[in-house]
Homo-oligomer: A and B are copies of this chain.
Amino acid sequence: MNKFSIGVDLGGTNLRIAAVDEQGALVEKVTLGTKVSRGRDHVIADMCDAIQRMSDKFKDTAPMQGIGVGVPGIIDMQTGLVRESPNLPDWVDYPARAAIEQRLKTVVILENDANVAALGEKWLGAAKDFSDMAMLTLGTGVGGGLVLGGAIWRGANGMAAEFGHTTVEPEGQLCGCGNHGCLEAYASATAIVRMAREAIVKNSGCALASAANSDPEFSAKSIYNLAIQGDEDARQIFRYVGRCLGIVLSTMVNSLNLPIYVIGGGVSSAWEAFSPSIFEELRRRSLVYAATAPHDDSVGNHGASANVEAGPGQKTIITRALLGSDAGLYGAARLPMITEARR
């Protein structure tokens, strides 16, 4: 390899560190548990030790370009402060960047995890031939990332791309953010389980009820399993997920007219169950999509996106993410390759 950089994906459960070379080849990856309960200093120490070991291991092989860290929270890019993080409760106004840099004695780049996942899919994944793209990450919540002109679009305060908090139903379900009817309240794993429990209350004899009773880890995945077995209640839930995603994607297409929108995160495994409703809504609600849709809506999903060139005849592609949970790791490693060093 010519050069490499180190990417860190700091999640509420797993802490993953990888060395990635300039061409995007994964040189080495380690996965540790994030020991949230031991406090932030402990998490930072674990992370820095692992980074140091990896950096030492390759330092005689090739020059290191830098270190990028994806953090699940709101980050003040100027100061390197993590303002808040739902999965890291004690990271409130925490000078995480300074803490890491002090231990490693080198500069690091912090970035929001959803932005980093978008950057990963843009570099090596579903959007790799595009310089403008947006990503929705359907997990416990719904994260968003936006890349314009090849760079993460952070907005005036580093708070852009909160697509998960687009209002879908103005008087709908209360969201964690305080608003009613956010996309996150209908298209996250949490929302899918909630909608299943609502269906069980209405009909305690349904297959969802049996599954919930027999499965102590009743989850969005359990509900998807029922859907692929043909259970109508479970299928209905995923159709509703697709409808809400379709409404938000229509707004994104109408507003930004990007060539590609990527859907990732754990819930995207249920693509077959929810994506038909996405395309139905898009054709109903977006003249821009109707005018630019590929002949087969899901064409991007079969690797054809690379054949579509930018220009007046540019197609609008809505597709699944390709890198799975590694998107954030690749994106974090990409940060030092495209970011100018801080003075």
Q: CA separation between A159 and B243, bound complex, in Å?
A: 23
Q: Once the chains bind, are B257 and A156 in contact (CB under 8 Å)? A: yes
Q: Which residues on the B side are within 8 Å of A167 (C-beta)?
A: 247, 250-251, 285
Q: CA separation between A156 and B133, bound complex, in Å?
A: 10
Q: Assuming the A-B contacts A148-B148, A170-B247, A250-B167, are A157 and B77 also in contact, with contact meaning beta carbons closer than 8 angstroms in the complex?
A: no
Q: CA separation between A163 and B257, bound complex, in Å?
A: 11
Q: Does A338 contact B (CB under 8 A)?
A: no
Which chain A residues (256-279) contact chain B, with CB distance < 8 Å?
256-259
Q: CA separation between A254 and B248, bound complex, in Å?
A: 12
> Which residue of B is nearest A130, CB measured?
B156
CB distance from A40 to the nearest CB of B (A): 22
A-B contact pairs, 28 of them (CB 8 A): A76-B312, A79-B312, A155-B256, A155-B257, A155-B288, A156-B258, A156-B310, A156-B311, A156-B316, A157-B292, A157-B313, A159-B257, A159-B292, A162-B254, A162-B287, A162-B288, A165-B254, A166-B251, A166-B254, A167-B247, A167-B251, A167-B285, A168-B170, A177-B287, A178-B284, A251-B251, A252-B255, A255-B255
Number of copies of this chain that the complex holds: 2
Q: Does A132 contact B (CB under 8 A)?
A: yes
> Which residue of B is nearest A176, CB measured?
B287
Q: Does A161 contact B (CB under 8 A)?
A: yes
CB distance from A138 to the nearest CB of B (A): 17
Q: Does A119 contact B (CB under 8 A)?
A: no
Q: Which residues on the B side are within 8 Å of A76 (C-beta)?
A: 312
Q: Once the chains bind, are A78 and B312 in contact (CB under 8 Å)? A: yes
Select one of B79, B157, B287, B313 contacting A288, CB under 8 A. B157
Q: CA separation between A311 and B256, bound complex, in Å?
A: 23
* 5 A-B pairs closest in CB distance: A155-B257, A160-B257, A156-B314, A162-B254, A156-B259
Which chain A residues (287-301) contact chain B, with CB distance < 8 Å?
287-288, 291-292
Q: Assuming the A-B contacts A177-B287, A287-B177, are A314 and B157 also in contact, with contact meaning beta carbons closer than 8 angstroms in the complex?
A: yes
